[in-house]
Chains A and B, each alone.
Chain A
Amino acid sequence: MSSPTGLLAGVAQVWRRLRSQRAALTAAIVLAALVVIALAAPLLTAIEGQDPTTYHDTLVNSASGGVPIGSFGGVSADHWLGVEPGTGRDVFARLVYGAQISLLVAVGSTVVQVLIGVAVGLAAGLGNRFLDHLLSSTTDVMLALPTLVFSIALMAVVPSGFPRPVLLMLVIGLLGWGGTARVVRAQTLTLRELDYVAAARLGGSSRWRIARRELLPSIAAPVITYAALLLPSNVVSEAGLSFLGVGVKPPTSSWGQMLSTATTWFRADPTYVLLPALMLFATTLAFTVVGDAVRTALDPRAASRVRVGTKGAA
């Protein structure tokens, strides 16, 4: 659609702005590291010599509720981050495999949310009064739903053969597109009044063509910004669902699942709680920081407008 040089220039420009923010850079590195960890999970656990599902009965003290034997939750040369209370499964292995699920579900559900949100928002923004009314009301109601409860109900009716991570993505995605739709609709309503859209109509473009050629590229920036905010909240959603016991299927691990078993171990085995909590915290924080930076980078207005009084001069 646009020329490669223009696109490249744009990307380069955004990257330059991003680079200038040290926090964002750090966060981006953290995210990159997380992705690498998730992708390399089999390799990393192979190096450690463990896997995430094998029980180690001898490493926990059965009589005291299954608390790991040894300090820091049973940290040893074999088990770098200790073992899970009760089962003796390797915490490091479960953490890195858990990263796969957390990231996959977060990204996947964000994609679903964005796709639906953009489609609905565009249709509402460009459609006639009735369609707009219908879709806007639906969007409002979607935003009104107690999503957590609905997810539980939805997860309940889907046959258990359905792959869980995909189901999680779909459920979080299907229930969470309201915000995106709103942003896109508002943006569309603004954009469609712009002269270049009028010009495209005069040029004989159909609505679909206008949406695709004129609106989508302009909507991309706010949508990316919004998606960057959705990501961390989806990480937390997945954790929340797993926390409530309707997340991934055992013996698969996810951070939320680990946290849900870990929360009661706060005092007896703090290490076990801190690790998934830290991972979750670091991930959402990193996503948020990067998201913020992306927003600033994509909307230089916000940054430059603060320089008061330079209208017409800068």
Chain B
Amino acid sequence: MSRSPRISRRVAAAAVTVALAGGAAACGPKSGDAGAGATPHSGGTLTILNQDPQDKFDPAREYTSGGGNVPSLVFRTLTTRARINGAAGTKVVPDLATDTGTPSKDATVWTYHLKDGLKYEDGSAITSADIKYGIERSFAPELSGGPPYFRDWLAGAQNYQGPYKAAADAKTGKGLDSIETPDDKTIVFHLNKPEGDFPYLATATQFAPVPKAKDTGVKYAEHPISSGPYEVVRNENDGTHLVLKRNPYWSTKTDDQRKAYPDTVDVQSGLDPAVINQRLSTGSGADAAAVTTDTNLGPSELAQVGNDKQLAARVGTGHFGYTDYLAFNTKVKPFDNPKVREAIAYALNRTSVVNAAGGSSLAEAATTFLPNQSAFGYTPYDPFPAGRTGDPAKARELLKEAGYPDGLTITLTHSSSNADQYGPDIATAVQDGLKAAGITVKLNAVQDSGYKQTIHSIKTEPGFFLAGWGADWPSGGPFLAPIFDGRQIVSDGSNFNSAQFNDSSVNDEIDAINKLTDHAAAAKRWGALDQKIGQQALTIPLFHPVYKRLYGKDIRNVVISDWTGVLDVSQVAVK
């Protein structure tokens, strides 16, 4: 890996789709009991209506934020996200482990102890070796898909290929040396660098225990052995239809996070978003006790919901830390000229963009790169104040200064699909907005399947394009560092520092903040750093998306944390 080992906290990003597909998060209405005032009871069947199937339902292959939504019903991990409404839900709490981990002094060694009485769905005991094995198998190329941190952080894991290859190869047959299991209850991780965010990582499904004897490789996904409140009783068409029922060996005594009220969970996917929302709003039959973990209300549905008080009461609003932005490649003319970038920033009509993204209820206009949540260190600022609809005059002035008195023609690259908000809808809104400032925008659509690879590779990166960034866990570091840390410019892999910005003062500040252990203090300085970088117009933040999710009329105990932004299915009751 060419990445600098000095970076202490490398974080994930842009994984929103992946995270959602994995069943990520949900956040809830700040008004927890919107469904009904009654107290939640056990029993009944919860139906989950989704677009994306729970495919690759294997803890090694999931890429989740905080353990995911549906996956966390089956997989318990060392730590997990707090299942609490709002900002309090951005905290890490113990799950299988007794605490969130004991770091060594320099945070390179992390030790966990398992709780007593932990059992799999078959009644056998969960051991620390199973957790080690679970992590090891995530290195197998057959089981690809998980987050990159294990390979990056664990000592000596760089070229490890998982237990299957290793078994065949006598030399490395011992597995990963950097994970120690001195006894059945203890597991120790040796990192190659200090990582204060390790407890956040330990929420990932790769930290779920996998009994070696039950491992069937790629077929494990059909029936992974449950450590959580539910076990898989049916898995059709690679997660298109998943039926979970209560795991008798799971107990609230060892799990204070998951409530698991329903007896059965029926996950139906492959549905059209319009159908999902229509079914939720109609709520006939089993749909009355249904939720969705991946489908937002569309703009048109929002317009409808607005006219119906009863429906409006069944909408959960949440925020997942995410920013959609215009990215510049400063190695490409004319975007090497700060004045040009500033002119574009001034000219931009954010109202059009927000409308294109679904209106002000689904997207909040952004002027900061950090999401508007305190956990990230959000500090409001606007380096190029041009009002909501842009300041064409100011933009023309800047263009003149930049040497383009007669206007400018540039190309905006975007995805062919609107699915991730990198698509033609946003692009045309930007295009139309810049028209007034004499900037002619040509649109260049890249096929969706190749879009992210195109924009996140130094070799193919266009000059001006639509991008977005989300964090794998709620913290300022993973949000800013990959984008603006000059040492994280990657030449042979996915590069997220699109501006290819390398400023030693910024790099030093990132290192300094990473040393802080006080999350609140760190957040403040992340906010300040964000403002400082923002002045350079390396990116133009467009908006932060808002999640509006409809749920069925029998749904109770709605919890939406700011970690995931969507309703947490482990807390929901249907009775």
- Inter-subunit contact B432/A54 (CB<8 Å): yes
Indicate whether A203 reaches chain B with its CB closer than 8 angstroms.
no
Stretch at the interface among A40-48, A110-118, A122-130, A245-253: A245-253
Q: How many chain A residues have a CB neighbour from B under 8 Å?
A: 33
- Pick the residue among A57, A87, A263, A268 that contacts B389 (CB under 8 A): A57
Least CB distance, B292 to chain A, in whole angstroms: 16
CB pair B359–A65 under 8 Å, yes or no, is yes
CA–CA, A66 to B424, complex, Å? 17
A53 CA to B443 CA in the complex, in Å?
A: 13
* Candidates A61, A64, A86, A155; contact of B356 at CB < 8 Å: A86
In the complex, whether A281 has a CB less than 8 A from a CB of chain B is no
Contact of B352 (CB < 8 Å), options: A55, A65, A246, A268 = A55
Asked whether, in the complex, the Cβ of B359 is within 8 Å of the Cβ of A265, the reply is: no
Write out the residue numbers on chain A whose beta carbons fall within 8 Å of the beta carbon of B428: 53, 87, 250-251
Asked if A160 lies at the interface with its beta carbon under 8 angstroms from chain B, I say yes
A64: B residues at CB distance < 8 A: 302-303, 306, 359, 361
Interface residues of B in 251-266 (CB under 8 A from A): none
Contact indicator B352/A57 (Cβ below 8 Å) = yes
Q: Which residues of A contact B85 (CB under 8 A)?
A: none
Write out the residue numbers on chain B whose beta carbons fall within 8 Å of the beta carbon of A250: 424-425, 427-428, 443, 445
Q: Known: A66-B358, A87-B352. Is A269-B303 also a contact (CB below 8 A)?
A: yes
Contact with B along A256-272 (1 / 0, CB 8 A): 00000001111111000
Q: Mark A214-251, 1 if CB is under 8 A from B, else 0.
A: 00000000000000000000000000000001100111
Interface flag for A63 (CB, 8 Å): yes
Asked if A55 meets B446 with Cβ closer than 8 Å, knowing A60-B355, A63-B360, the reply is no
- A245-B360 contact given A250-B424, A267-B304, CB 8 Å threshold: no
Q: Is B203 an interface residue (CB 8 A)?
A: no
**Contact A160–B359 (Cβ < 8 Å):** no
Contact of B359 among A55, A61, A155, A161 (CB under 8 A): A61
- The size of the chain B interface, using a CB distance under 8 A, is 40
CB within 8 A of B431: which of A65, A251, A268, A269?
A251
From known contacts A268-B304, A269-B303, infer whether A62 and B354 are also in contact, taking CB-CB under 8 Å: yes
Residue of B362, B416, B431, B444 with most chain A CB atoms under a 10 A cut-off? B416
Interface code B430-453, partner A: CB below 8 Å = 1, 0 otherwise?
011101000000011111010000
Chain B residues with CB under 8 A of A313: none
B429 in contact (CB, < 8 A): yes
Asked whether any CB of chain A lies closer than 8 Å to the CB of B44, the reply is no
Query: Please, how many angstroms separate the alpha-carbon atoms of A88 and B349 in the complex?
Result: 14
Give min CB distance, A151 to chain B, whole Å. 13
Q: Is the CB of A66 within 8 A of B355?
A: yes
B355 engages A62 (CB within 8 Å): yes
- For A55, the chain B residues whose CB sits under 8 A away are 349, 352, 355, 429, 432-433
B355 close to A268 (CB less than 8 A) = no
The reply to whether B416 and A86 form a contact with Cβ atoms under 8 Å apart is: no
Q: In the assembled complex, which residues on chain A have CB atoms less than 8 Å from the CB atom of B447? A: 155-157
Q: Does B301 contact A (CB under 8 A)?
A: yes
A60 vs B416: C-alpha distance in the bound complex, in angstroms?
Answer: 25
Q: Indicate whether B299 reaches chain A with its CB closer than 8 angstroms.
A: yes
Find out whether the CB atom of B431 lies under 8 angstroms from the CB atom of A160. Answer: no
Residues of chain A having any CB pair with chain B under 8 Å:
53-55, 57, 60-67, 85-88, 155-157, 160-161, 245-246, 249-251, 263-269
For the complex with contacts A60-B359, A251-B443, 19 further pairs of A-B residues with Cβ separation under 8 Å are A53-B428, A57-B349, A60-B355, A63-B360, A63-B361, A64-B306, A65-B306, A65-B358, A66-B303, A66-B358, A67-B300, A85-B300, A85-B303, A156-B447, A249-B443, A250-B428, A268-B303, A268-B304, A269-B303
16 A-B pairs within 8 Å (CB atoms) are namely A54-B435, A55-B352, A57-B355, A60-B355, A62-B351, A65-B302, A85-B299, A85-B303, A86-B358, A156-B449, A246-B416, A250-B445, A251-B443, A264-B301, A268-B303, A269-B300
